[in-house]
Amino acid sequence: MTRCLIVQPIHAAGLELLENAGITPVLAPAYDPATIVASMAGMDAVITRDAGLRTPAIAASAVLKVIGVHGIGTDPVDVAEATRRGICVVNTPGANVRAVAEQALALALALAKAIPAADAAARAGDFGFKYRAPLRELAGATFGIVGFGHIGQATAGLARAFGMRVVGVSRSQADEVFTQAGVERVADLDTLLGMADVVSLHLPSTPATRGVIGARELGLMKPGAFLINTSRGALIDEPALEVALAERRIGGAGLDVFAAEPLSPASRLARLDNVVLSPHIAGSAVEALERTARLVAGQVVDVLAGRRPAHLVNPEVWHPDAAVGARL
């Protein structure tokens, strides 16, 4: 029997795709590291979301052939160890682009319109809230995008639709990509931080990007500016952000990701009134979940059938003459 461990739940469409290919999906009872390791024995494949897969779990199955990442970021997976063992790692770039872009704009809107506080006021019958709340329009404001990949570009399109001036910075994209998107390219991050009313992060977590927003960068932001993060929590120095928010040096933050997840209820971020939080749900729209589940499951099927997957993170492990499918 060929089995695939499902570390965290995925859309039923992905499970059906696996079953139709003769692969039995096995749902892990929990996704803490110890449970994942204990569940790995005899697994031919794994599909994981933000729980990732570390070396002890990878080593726990002698027959593991493919690790499917339900999403774009592979930083929670020990790709180097998988590569050393000849295990394919696949991901799903593009499947949740629109959902994440919409969440970035939703967080910006929630801050500008004080949606959480307004909701609480309405439930309490406090209709005088509108005389006290410093509500703002986004139209005419400057929206700064840090990182201009697929999600950054999609976010730019939504921001422009709101009538915002969009500026961006990227270390890798060509000038023509910015021109085609109708986005003004700025010279560097410092310049963007000094001019944007909303700063939205769209970077992967790498040694070069971790802590890219720290006390210095927060100090460069405009008073009243919003910081949005739907990418990776490691991009922000959270203690520095807590201080900047508590001292009202910036207007607010909209965060979907955190340095440690789940966020502790005791976190200072959870107690600040100029923060809007969501529990890492940006890519979890139903439509995006179905697309992502189909894409990751389809690639698991491909690898186990001896076909090269569409999004192979570690192509050096691929040996088409290895007849992987013969081991099904």
Q: How far apart are CA 227 and CA 233, in angstroms?
A: 12
Q: What letter would DSSP give residue 197?
A: S
- Residue 228 phi/psi, 5° resolution? -120, 135
* Beta bridge pairs of residue 24: 3
Q: How far apart are CA 112 and CA 124, in angstroms?
A: 21
Q: How far apart are CA 81 and CA 185, in angstroms?
A: 38
Sheet with 226-229, strands from edge to edge, namely 184-185, 165-169, 142-146, 198-201, 226-229, 252-255, 275-277
Sheet with 45-48, strands from edge to edge, namely 23-27, 2-6, 45-48, 66-69, 88-90
Taking phi over 0 as left and psi of -120 to 50 as alpha, with beta for the rest, 256 belongs to: alpha
Percent of residues in the chain assigned helix, strand, coil, to nearest 5 = 40, 15, 45
Helix (H) or strand (E) holding 198: strand 198-201
Q: How far apart are CA 45 and CA 266, in angstroms?
A: 37
- Residue 196 phi/psi, 5° resolution? -90, 140
Please confirm, yes or no, whether 261 is among the known catalytic residues: yes
Please confirm, yes or no, whether 327 is among the known catalytic residues: no
Options 19, 261, 287, 327, the catalytic residue: 261
Options 232, 238, 291, 294, the catalytic residue: 232
Options 49, 70, 280, 294, the catalytic residue: 280
Please confirm, yes or no, whether 185 is among the known catalytic residues: no
Neighbours of 300 (CB within 10 A): 28
Return the active site residues: 232, 261, 280
